Every structure is written in structure tokens, then in C-alpha cells.
Amino acid sequence: MTTSAPLGLNKTGAQMSPEDTKRQIEATEQFGPDVPGDVTRITEERIKFIREHEAIDEQIGSVPPPGSVKGVLKTGLDKMMGKNPELLLDKLGERLAYERTGVRLYEAFIAKVMAAPDARPELLGKLREIQVEEAEHMLLLKKSIETLGADPTTMTPCAHVSGTMAQGIIQVLTDPRTNMAQCLNAMLTIELADNAAWELLIELARQANHPNIASSFEEPMRREEEHLATIKTLLRDELKVQLS
Amino acid sequence: MDTFSGLLDLKGTPLDKQRFTWREMATRPISKLDDDATTRIRIILMNGIETEALRLKHIGARFHRELQPHLAHIRRVEQHQATAINWLISGDHSPLETTIAYEQVAIEVTAAVAQNEPDPYQAQSYRFGLLEDFDHLYRYSAMYDRLEGKDPNNILQGYTDIIPGRPTSQHHRNPSDDLRDSYDKTTAQLITKIHAAMITSSEYQTHDYYMNIGNTFADPVARALYAEIASVEEQHVTQYESLMDASETFMEKWLVHEAMEVYAYASCAEQEENPRIKALWERFLDYELGHLEFASDLFKKYERRDPAEVLVGALPKMRPLKRNRDFVRETLSKEVDLRAHGIDYVPKEKEDKASLDYRNHLNSEGIPADIASAGYVWTPGTELFRKP
């Protein structure tokens, strides 16, 4: 894998064809817009649709109630206490999905590293280590969800939305043409969001009166901080190598 | 006018020698950034032609049991040709980017065809449709700029203008106003038959693409815009397929389609600048010559006629599929206010009441194309670069 994008004949910019650009601008002057208004027409339309969904309380999906009796009792108790167990379940589901996809993202990234002509064994080792930890975190979350009597195989709404966000990252990592720095940048996005999310999840678990779950997340949180630092360093080194 | 001479008489690759591996079909795609936009135009055009080849032969097979084994054989090759071509589009094209490329195809190819078409009514029909696809490009460009925050000209590369055409809100017609008069198979030039088959293929593909990806958008404005323009593309398929003589037998249409494919690949090979893609067009030109020979033999066997009866006339070389802006602007200035009434083109004031009623109802709860493009002026670098 090459480390940086080469100089070349990128054809997307207007300056690549100044004569054409001149003619295109001339056309916009001769044939102006036929519909009055601006981008706010789109905003107004979006508001209309959002309100239509809100009016019938329709969201992207729901959190199923916990299946086991023990779980029902527990979450029922929390509800009486003014807690919002579905929020915690939704966010636990999101973290589980994120870590699970993370294992696959590292697999795609590892293929990139292995394909490089100067494949560095210590880097590969480090990435495999992170990947194993992502899988461990996934299993810890599975256990936490089961403790609450809920189903860890459910795709909760937040899990689904975070999966939608990850689509672009998957495209970047699996494209055979992307380089190391581009892939590290994609992983940085993942790890940055992961870090903030673990921090928030611990706070949520505490607030929802699940101190055991909260404290069990402290070690993963520390590990994730290390993942972030590692990816950041790798990216910095990669870019410095390209500049040197 | 420069013509291809003796093109259809060339020897091609025999059908049983037309083989593929998966690796050849899912090969390295083009670069969205570095390859020329016209390479992508040709890829989209040829994929549309190959998928129409499959469609036509599937329909034919439903009416002709005796032809089924032959059609199955040739279709398998066409399936793999279509794959090898369509998989050249890289995965980093967003659906809206591919859409903008599809509209560029519609504009540049239809403009090239309209200028070469010898039959005045057929040429008028291409100009009529051209102004509508030209408008779709403007509406989708506004949507792309305002949804993804990107410049549609990154895809168009300066070859095509981004301005309103005949407004999309005015395209919606009563079905009877989308049918056209056809060429007469006994007197029409081969290039007229080829043009109708080619543009029908292209529009069918565009329709199917919008129907498949329109619902993958989360944004309600984009979803509505695709719903609206997909409906117009269905009208365009109705229009263009009615340009063909409905009294042609299935085998006549098959022959025309194969001749069209030979012509299209020869044109692509001639215009292509990317050597790897040019080699593919040349390989598939040889394959199509093989298909034409295969179809001709069956035509002689089953219809007991000479294929030359169907394929009469010179083949003018295809015009460049870029920078047809002078022709488009002239058409826009003269014909933007034309409307269809039955098979005739009429001034706006004489439009069919049935079409007006149909349109007024469709548009009565808002017009997606208007919402997406209100006040949009294309500017290099997106409208956010525009000086206040």
C-alpha cells in the first residue's frame, strides 16, 4: 500500500478545465433559477416530515422489554423509581454493536497492513491485540445486557443508528485503493467516538442505579483510551513519515 | 458525414469462445477523481445497453419456445458483459453521484444522437426528451449540493451545463401524451433504428436505477425527488420505445439490437482514452460481431429472410459524448415551451387538458423538484462558495 496520494491529473476541480467553467458560469447567468426561494425550502419540508413522525410518536424503532422475569422485575422497579431502563438498554446495545463491528473493522484494517510491502510485525501485533480487546468488550456488554434480563441479539435503535454511521468507515477500510493514513484516519474517528461513548455509558449506568455494571466498564474505558492513543500516534507517525 | 463502413460485416469472436472469470467481471474500477467523465459516461451507456439486451431477449423467449436455447446461451454472455462493465463504477460513488453521472449520460448521448438522427420527427423527439433530462440534472445537482455539501461538477468535469431545462414539474403527462409516432421499418435508415434502441436502453436503465436507489435515502426530500423523477423516466421509456415500429418481429428487433451494440462498442472504442477500458470495448465489439452473426444465422433459419433487409443504411460515426452545450442551449432557447399532445409537439398553450389535470393532481401537495432546487445557482465549489 502506498503511503500517500501521488500528484496526478485529478479531474474534479474547476481549474482543470477553465474554458468549460467559463461556459458553465455563463450558462447560469443566461438561464437563472426558475423556482424562487433557497435551501430553506428543504429545511421546511424536513420539519414537516419530522413533525408527521412525531405526531404519531414514530421513531426509527423501539427497545423490546426485557424477557426474563428477573429482568422485568428489576427494570420494573427502576421504572417506578423514575429511571429509564430502556435508555440504558438501548445504549448498551449500541456499545455492543459498536464493539462487534469494531472487531470486523480491525480485520479489514489488518489486511491493509499485511498487504503493505514493508509490513511491520510489531504494528500487526498491536492491531491484533486491540482487536482481541474489542471482542472482550463486546462479550462484557453481552453479559451486562443479560444481567438486565434483556436480549443481547437485539439490534436496538441506537445500535442501528451507530451501524448506519459506520457504513462510511467500512467503505474506506475495505477499498483496496485507500492508503494507510486514510485508514488510520477512519480508525481515529471510530476510536474517538468510542472513547466518549464509554465515558458516557459509565455515567448512565451509575445514574440508572447499576453501580456494578458501571464499575465493570472502567477497565474497558481505560483500554479504549489506550486504543485511541495508539491510533493517534500511528497516524501522526504515518503523516510524519510522508513529510520526511 | 464520417461513417463506419463495413462495420457489420466484420468477423467477430464466436459465441462459444466468449468466456469470463469472476476476476475479469469484478475487476479494478475506474477512479472517480482521476478518470475522465466520458469514460464513466460510456460505462453507464454500455451497461444500459447490455441490460436491455437481456430484457429484450427474456421477453422474446416468452413468445418463442424454439428460440429459448439460443437466447439462453447468448444472454449468459451478456449478463457477464454487463457485470464486467457495471463493476467498473467504483464503490466510492454515492447514489446521488451515480445519479448525476446517469443524467450526464442522458444529456450527452441524447444530444449526440439528436444531431445525427436523419428522421426529423425522431430527432424532435430526442430534443424533447433531452430538455427534460437536462432539467433532472439541475434538480439532482441542487439536491446533491444541499444534501452532501459537494459540487456536482466534480462528477461532470465541466462537460455539461447545470441550469434549468423544461421544468420537471411540467414533465408529468397523461400516458397517451407520452406515446410517439414510430419509424416505418421498411423505409427507416438503420441509424434511426439504432438510435431508438440505444436511447430506450439508456432510459430504461435510468428508470430502474432510480427505482432501486430512491428508497435508500433517509432524507424525505431526496426520497420524494427520486419518486418524481423515476415517474418521468417511465414516461421517457414509454416515449422512446414507441419510436420503434411495433410491427417489427421479435427477430427483427433482436437483429437491430445486436447491430446497435456493434455500433455502440465501436463508437466507445473509437472515443475512449483510458487504454484498459478501450481494450474492453474492443473485446466486446468482437463479442457483439459474434452475436450479430449468431442472430443473423437464426434469422435466416427461422424467418427465411436476409438480415440485410432489416439492416439498411449508412452508419454515421457517433458524435463526442461531451460538450454538446451549444446544441443543448440552442434547443433550450427554441423548444423549452414545447409540450406533447398525443404524438404531436405543440406550444404550451395547446397542451392536452388530460395532461394538465393529471399534473395538477400530482403536484397538488408540493413538487419535490421545486423544493430541492429553489433558487439554486450552480457555482464552482458549491453554492456555499457563492459571493453574497
- The predicted model gives B367-381 an average pLDDT of 98
Phi, psi angles (nearest 5°) of residue B4: -85, 120
Give strand pairing partners of B316. B3
A-to-B residue pairs, Cβ atoms closer than 8 angstroms: 111
Whole-number pLDDT of residue A242: 79
Contact, B383 vs B377, CB < 8 A? yes
pLDDT tier for residue B78 given thresholds of 50, 70 and 90 = very high
C-alpha cell of A243? 513529510
Q: Judge: A42–B159 Cβ closer than 8 Å, yes or no.
A: no
**Structural domain contains residue B23:** no
| Segments making up each domain of chain A, as ranges | 64-243
Interface of A with B in 166-225 (CB under 8 A): 171, 175, 177
Mutation target for B interface from A31, A54, A167: give the one with most B CBs within 10 A: A31
Q: Is residue B350 part of a domain?
A: yes
The mean predicted confidence, pLDDT, of chain A is 91
Q: Which residues contact B198 (CB under 8 A, 6 or more apart)?
A: B45, B49, B109, B113, B260, B263, B264
CB B157 within 8 Å of CB A11: yes
Instruction: Name the band, by pLDDT with cuts 50, 70 and 90, for residue A6.
Output: confident
pLDDT in tens, B202-250: 999 999 999 999 999 999 999 999 999 999 999 999 999 999 999 999 9
Nearest Cα of chain B lies from the Cα of A43 at a distance, in angstroms, of 9
Domain range for B328 is 3-11+36-382
Name residues whose C-beta falls within 8 Å of residue A54's C-beta, 6 or more positions apart in sequence.
none
What number is the average pLDDT over the span A27-39?
98
Q: Which residue of B has its CA nearest to A9?
A: B34
Residue of B nearest to A164 (CA): B218
Least CA distance to A41: which residue of chain B? Answer: B371
**C-beta atoms of B91 and A175 within 8 A:** yes
Chain B residues with CB under 8 Å of A186 CB are: none
Phi, psi of B351 (to 5 degrees): -65, 150
With CB atoms and an 8 Å threshold, state whether B220 touches A17. no
Is the pLDDT reported for residue B296 higher than 60? yes
User: Considering just the CA atoms, what is the radius of gyration of chain A in Å?
Assistant: 24
Torsion region of B157: left, alpha or beta (phi above 0 gives left; psi -120 to 50 gives alpha)? left
Question: What is the DSSP code (8-state) at residue B64?
Answer: -
Predicted local confidence at residue A49, as pLDDT: 97
What's the rounded mean pLDDT across residues B365-374?
98
Check B91 against A171: CB less than 8 A apart: yes
* Among B329, B375, B376, beta carbon nearest to A27: B329
Residue B159 and residue A20: Cβ atoms within 8 Å?
Answer: yes
Residues of B with CB under 8 A from a CB of A: 31-37, 90-92, 146, 151, 153-155, 157-159, 161-164, 167, 219-221, 224, 323, 325, 329, 332, 366, 370-381, 383
Percent of chain B with pLDDT over 90: 99
CATH topology (fold) of A64-243? Ferritin (1.20.1260)
Are B386 and A19 a contacting pair, CB within 8 Å?
Answer: no
For residue A206, the model assigns a pLDDT of 93
DSSP B346: E
pLDDT at A176 over 50: yes
List pLDDT tens digits, range A50-91.
999 999 999 999 999 887 645 555 555 555 344 678 999 999
Q: Across the interface, which of B146, B162, B220 has its CB nearest the CB of A49?
A: B220
Q: pLDDT at position A80, please?
A: 39
Widest CA span in chain B: 70
> Is B25 domain-assigned?
no
pLDDT digits (tens, 9 = 90+) for B248-265: 999 999 999 999 999 999
B144-156 pLDDT per residue, tens: 999 999 999 999 9
pLDDT of residue A68: 64
The number of folded domains in chain B is 1
Q: Shortest Cα distance from B216 to chain A (angstroms)?
A: 12
Q: In percent, how much of chain B has pLDDT > 70?
A: 100
Judged by a CB distance cut-off of 8 A, whether residue A33 touches chain B is: yes
Q: What is the DSSP string of B328-341?
A: HHHHHHHHTTEEEE
Task: Identify the pLDDT of residue A82.
Answer: 41
Please name the member of B153, B370, B374 whose beta carbon is closest to the beta carbon of A14: B153
CB contact under 8 A, B374 and A33: yes
User: What gap in Å lies between CA B299 and CA B254, rounded to an integer?
Assistant: 9
Averaged over B26-30, what is the pLDDT? 97
Whether A23 and B161 lie within 8 Å, measured CB to CB: yes
pLDDT (0 to 100) of residue B172: 98
